[in-house]
């Protein structure tokens, strides 16, 4: 079986990681991946065409030329489930989000009836996408991500302690990641006995509140996965209070490294973490501060969260994800 895979020249790191892990495992299921670009040409002799990179972007025109079974992955529809004012810091950003919403909705009108199957990366994202674009629930398949089990592993017994204890946050840094409230919550903790707060902001500029705040250290660039795993292992806790996630891969990576997690009680964060993290209202500074204080002062609770997190992380794998993708491709092609 052959699957044509749309490859974009520029993609977010998370989308590229997802695509590469699935494509690398498709041969294990008797599927050959045939790459093509947005300008074509469409590869011949494919049983299915797959676009792994849809979300809050318009459907590429080349998909309209596909005359066989079509499968797309949609990584969520954030402005259809969030108030745009929460993710648009200025009126220009707000206007841009509203224009994007109209363009994406218009673009999906033609695709909704054309796609044979839509893959979403969580049950939350599946419901969000189905509601936003008017898709029948049976057409949308929720398939969780995996994580790299060769990199994100627990620390060896009795690792050397860090120079200073720290809490960790890793994200792109955009408004949806809720870093400003995280900083506000951290600022309420007693300065004399709180750990540091390390922010790894991979894409956007760190919030101005982080500049000069005592105890806050900023890494304003992407770091290699091996280094990121070291940061997870050394942290007293991973704090990820995102307002909305389609999946939330850093949650799984942190749990797999034995790092206790605080995350949001809604969207896919709660779905991915289940009962293996401290769940908080991400819009409540007080709740976020209380969770951080509890995590670094209650050693028995912290150990319990670590143990639950390790078990929960074990339920995610790229092998299982690829197998589920292969099943969707076979169903779309009529080759169960």
Q: Are residues 179 and 105 in the same domain?
A: no
pLDDT at residue 285 above 90? Answer: yes
Q: What is the pLDDT of residue 161?
A: 65
DSSP code per residue over 94-142: HHHHHHHHHHHHHHHHHHHHH-SEEEESSHHHHHHHHHHHT--GGGEEE
In a domain, 321, yes or no: yes
In a domain, 158, yes or no: no
Q: Are residues 203 and 296 in the same domain?
A: yes
Q: Are residues 50 and 66 in the same domain?
A: yes
258 pLDDT band (50/70/90 cuts)?
very high
CA distances from 88 to 21, 103, 174 (A): 32, 17, 9
d(CA 199, CA 176): 15
295-334 burial, b if ≥16 CB within 10 A, otherwise e?
Answer: bbeeeeebeebbebbbebbeebbbeebbebbbebbbbbbe
In a domain, 326, yes or no: yes
Three-state SS for 207-260 is CHHHCCCCCEEEECCCCCHHHHHHHHHHCCEEEECCCCCCCCHHHHHHHHCCCC
**86-143 pLDDT tens trace:** 777 777 878 887 887 888 888 888 788 889 999 999 999 999 999 888 888 889 999 9
pLDDT at residue 155 above 80? Answer: no
Q: Are residues 170 and 277 in the same domain?
A: yes
Place of tokens 């995610």: 316
pLDDT at residue 85 above 80? Answer: no
Q: Are residues 108 and 173 in the same domain?
A: no
pLDDT at residue 73 above 70? Answer: yes
> In terms of residue numbers, what domain contains 112?
2-146+317-333
């Amino acid at each position: 079986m052959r699957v044509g895979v749309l490859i974009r020249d520029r993609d977010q790191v998370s989308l590229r990681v997802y695509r590469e892990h699935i494509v690398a495992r498709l041969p294990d299921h008797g599927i050959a991946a045939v790459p093509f670009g947005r300008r074509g040409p469409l590869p011949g002799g494919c049983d299915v065409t797959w676009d792994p990179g849809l979300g809050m972007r318009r459907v590429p025109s080349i998909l309209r030329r596909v005359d066989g079974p079509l499968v797309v992955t949609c990584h969520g529809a954030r402005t259809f489930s969030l108030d745009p004012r929460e993710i648009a810091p200025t009126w220009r950003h707000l206007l841009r989000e509203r224009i994007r919403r109209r363009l994406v909705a218009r673009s999906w009108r033609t695709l909704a009836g054309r796609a044979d199957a839509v893959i979403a990366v969580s049950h939350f994202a599946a419901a969000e996408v189905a509601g936003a674009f008017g898709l029948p629930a049976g057409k949308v398949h929720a398939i969780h991500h995996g994580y790299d089990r060769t990199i994100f592993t627990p620390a060896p017994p009795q690792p050397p302690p860090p120079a200073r204890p720290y809490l960790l946050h890793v994200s792109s840094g955009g408004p949806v990641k809720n870093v400003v409230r995280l900083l506000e919550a951290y600022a309420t903790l007693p300065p004399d006995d709180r750990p540091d707060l390390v922010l790894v902001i991979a894409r956007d500029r760190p919030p101005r509140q982080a500049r000069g705040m005592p105890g806050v250290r900023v890494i304003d660039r992407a770091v290699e996965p091996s280094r990121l795993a070291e940061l997870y292992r050394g942290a007293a806790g991973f704090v990820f209070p995102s307002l909305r996630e389609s999946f939330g891969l850093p949650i799984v990576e942190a749990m797999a490294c034995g790092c206790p997690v605080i995350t949001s009680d809604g969207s896919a964060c709660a779905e991915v973490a289940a009962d293996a993290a401290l769940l908080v209202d991400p819009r409540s500074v007080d709740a976020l501060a209380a969770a951080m204080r509890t995590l670094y002062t209650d050693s028995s609770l912290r150990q319990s969260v670590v143990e639950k997190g390790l078990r929960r992380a074990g339920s995610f794998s790229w092998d299982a994800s690829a197998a589920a993708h292969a099943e969707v491709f076979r169903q779309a092609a009529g080759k169960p």
